[in-house]
């Protein structure tokens, strides 16, 4: 039975980037808002920062970079004094060797060897001369772009770890969204210039976001942003209800919404609202609308990939300079290894301890997800040793963080299932708004999730769907509904305001890899001390 009821202009399901962006902006505009969040402690969703004994863990790694002036301005407004500017360094681990990213051509040739490098180039040329004209899957799309040999080396193993399914069963949409704009030819030319020292200017990420070399980051992790947004919402008299799990959503005879949520003690809260913004997974939303919409059956076929991080504290001033390393090795289950001090020195309280996060991709309730924390920590220690990144006996602590529904799966049927649900709900319920990554079943970055909320707020203020939020895409170009391409709300290059924001960042010393031999050369990752 519901205990306590409140009436507001807008009820919001989920306190992640999309939900809190909407709450923040609606609060500024004078709307009454209540947000429900099932987590008892943290806001931010997958962008939260978990803290254990002073160590802070970023769930997946969140670079604060956007082509959108509106998003950058909002970041600066919510968190004006706590951004730091960080260098990006990511590498690929393959067959015991490390590959810089962006590509350094001579390094790649040396690591792969002349024979394999030649095979890669021949394979690439073949793909360009005789492309597959019936592109259906991630595998088809990627082979067309890079050739079969490079696909097998740098895409297949890691991608199948992430998604838990063969690359030929994944939709080509995901590759087109996440790898769009990355040209092998351009990367090789750029790599050759850098190898010869002819290109010293930073790659600013504007042509291909994957190649971004610097980014902004909250000094205590991304959760700092969302804590600040929540605090603003609450300070203005609105409400964020923690430990409240979405139960049911229904309209009364007046068209107003009645949202029920279950508290951790089993009691229920009831919220009445004119509008509802949902960042809950589409599958979950469709199953909890009363009466059940026809789209509930297609929505049940939407799939999600779950994720867990095993954080290890290791006796070492630092292990490697990367933000993270992609593990393209089938001998271990780990998909990626983060170095939290490389994100921000303030994430790790003890300078004599390195803190890394091993990322494992899984399905909820499978063997990995269901393993005990102790067993997962032992697995992580073992795999760090296999990779040669540390000795198991140097590990002095560990913690496990689980994130359900981290990634909406792009299988063959996802697009049709999403469209069926979107069409029905938007037709029946003009005051119900789906936003964010899971709310739209779209693998958006944090800034894109925020923009879906920003445009939804504008729609609520206007009293109609002035903006089609489904046009928010990977290039951060957003158009008004009904006249696609006529009005670009987001600029596609760095503005003077953005440049000024970057220049005004708080200075944090960039970490130097220490050189025990004193020869000034440092020590490469994986190289014996």
pLDDT of residue 526: 30
Which of the 8 DSSP states describes residue 346? G
403 within some domain: yes
Return the pLDDT at 357.
97
Confidence at residue 475, expressed as pLDDT on a 0 to 100 scale = 46
| pLDDT value for 487 | 31
Residues 277, 422 share a domain: yes
Q: Are the C-beta atoms of 444 and 437 separated by less than 8 Å?
A: yes
pTM score over 0.75 = yes
Based on the fold, state whether residues 297 and 308 are members of the same structural domain: no
- Classify residue 62: in a domain, yes or no: no
Residues 344-363, mean pLDDT to the nearest whole number: 95
**Which residue shows structure tokens 């610097």?**
214
Same domain, 428 and 293: yes
Please check whether residues 38 and 185 belong to one and the same domain: no
- CA 189/CA 178 separation, integer angstroms: 21
pLDDT 10s digits, 155-210: 888 888 888 889 998 888 766 666 654 555 555 555 545 555 555 554 433 334 34
Instruction: Say how far apart CA 525 and CA 522 lie, in whole Å.
Output: 10
Question: What's the total number of domains in the chain?
Answer: 3
CATH of residue 341: 3.90.660.20
Distance CA 249, CA 259 (A): 5
Q: Tell me: pLDDT of 400 over 60.
A: yes
State how far the Cα of 9 lies from the Cα of 86, in Å rounded to an integer.
40
Query: Is 387 within the bounds of a domain?
Result: yes
Decide if 216 is inside a domain: no
Residue 128 in this model has a pLDDT that exceeds 60 = yes
Cβ neighbours, 10 Å, residue 123:
18
Shared domain check, 236 and 108: no
Q: Are residues 297 and 445 in the same domain?
A: yes
- Determine the Cα angle at 326 with ends 56 and 108, to 5°: 140
In this structure, is residue 88 part of a structural domain?
Answer: no
Residues 319-329: what's their mean pLDDT? 90
**Does 361 or 110 have the greater pLDDT score?**
361
Q: Are residues 143 and 272 in the same domain?
A: no
DSSP for residue 393 = G
| pLDDT > 90 in the chain, percent | 60
Residues 324 and 264 in one domain: no
Give the separation between CA 356 and CA 337, rounded to whole angstroms.
Answer: 7
298 with 308, same domain: the answer is no
Cβ neighbours of residue 372 under 8 Å, at least 6 residues apart?
Answer: none
Please say whether the beta carbons of 279 and 435 come within 8 A. Answer: yes
CATH number of 450's domain = 3.50.50.60
- Its domain, for residue 329, covers 304-408
Percent of the chain at pLDDT > 70 equals 80
Flag whether pLDDT at 507 surpasses 80.
Answer: no
Is 350 domain-assigned?
Answer: yes
Residue 318 falls within a domain, yes or no? yes
């Amino acid at each position: 039975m519901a205990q306590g009821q409140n009436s507001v202009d807008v009820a919001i399901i989920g306190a992640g980037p999309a939900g809190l962006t909407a709450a923040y902006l609606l609060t500024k505009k004078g709307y009454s808002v209540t947000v429900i969040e099932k987590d008892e402690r943290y806001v931010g969703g997958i962008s939260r920062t978990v803290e254990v004994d002073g160590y802070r863990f970023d769930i997946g790694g969140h670079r604060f970079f956007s082509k959108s002036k509106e998003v950058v301005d909002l970041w600066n407004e919510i968190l004006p004094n706590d951004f730091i500017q960080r260098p990006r360094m990511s590498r690929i681990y393959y067959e015991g060797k490390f590959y810089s990213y962006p590509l350094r051509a001579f390094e790649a040739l040396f690591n792969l060897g002349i024979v394999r490098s030649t095979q890669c180039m021949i394979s690439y040329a073949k793909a360009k001369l005789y492309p597959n004209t019936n592109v259906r899957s991630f595998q088809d799309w990627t082979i067309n772009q890079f050739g079969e040999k490079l696909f097998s080396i740098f895409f297949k193993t890691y991608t199948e770890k992430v998604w838990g399914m063969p690359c030929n069963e994944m939709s080509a949409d995901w590759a087109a969204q996440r790898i769009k704009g990355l040209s092998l030819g351009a990367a090789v030319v750029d790599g050759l210039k850098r190898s010869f020292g002819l290109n010293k200017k930073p790659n600013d990420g504007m042509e291909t976001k994957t190649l971004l070399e610097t980014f902004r980051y909250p000094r205590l992790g991304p959760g700092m942003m969302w804590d600040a947004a929540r605090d603003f919402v609450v300070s203005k008299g609105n409400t964020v209800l923690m430990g409240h799990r979405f139960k049911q959503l229904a309209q009364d005879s007046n068209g107003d919404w009645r949202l029920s949520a279950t508290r951790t003690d089993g009691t229920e809260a009831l919220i009445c609202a004119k509008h509802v913004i949902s960042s809950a997974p589409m599958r979950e939303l469709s199953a909890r609308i009363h009466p059940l919409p026809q789209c509930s059956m297609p929505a049940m076929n939407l799939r999600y990939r779950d994720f867990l991080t095993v954080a290890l504290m290791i006796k070492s001033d630092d292990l490697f300079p990367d933000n993270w390393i992609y593990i393209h090795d089938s001998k271990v289950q780990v998909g990626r290894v983060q170095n939290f001090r490389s994100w921000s020195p303030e994430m790790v309280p003890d300078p004599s301890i390195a803190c890394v996060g091993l990322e494992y991709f899984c399905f909820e309730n499978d063997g990995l997800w269901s393993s005990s924390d102790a067993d997962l920590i032992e697995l992580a220690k073992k795999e760090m040793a296999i990779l040669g990144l540390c000795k198991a006996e140097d590990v002095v602590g560990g913690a496990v963080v689980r994130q359900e529904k981290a990634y909406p799966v792009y299988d063959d049927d996802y697009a049709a299932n999403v469209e069926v649900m979107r069409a029905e709900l938007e037709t029946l319920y003009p005051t119900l708004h789906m936003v964010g990554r899971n709310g739209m079943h779209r693998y958006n970055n944090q800034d894109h999730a925020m923009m879906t909320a920003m445009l939804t707020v504008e729609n609520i203020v206007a009293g109609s769907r002035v903006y089609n939020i489904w046009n928010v895409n990977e290039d951060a170009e957003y158009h008004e509904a009904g006249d696609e391409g006529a009005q670009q709300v987001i600029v596609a290059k760095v503005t003077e305001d953005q440049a000024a924001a970057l220049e005004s960042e708080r200075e944090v010393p960039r970490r130097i890899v220490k050189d025990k031999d004193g020869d000034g050369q440092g020590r490469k990752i994986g190289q014996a001390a």
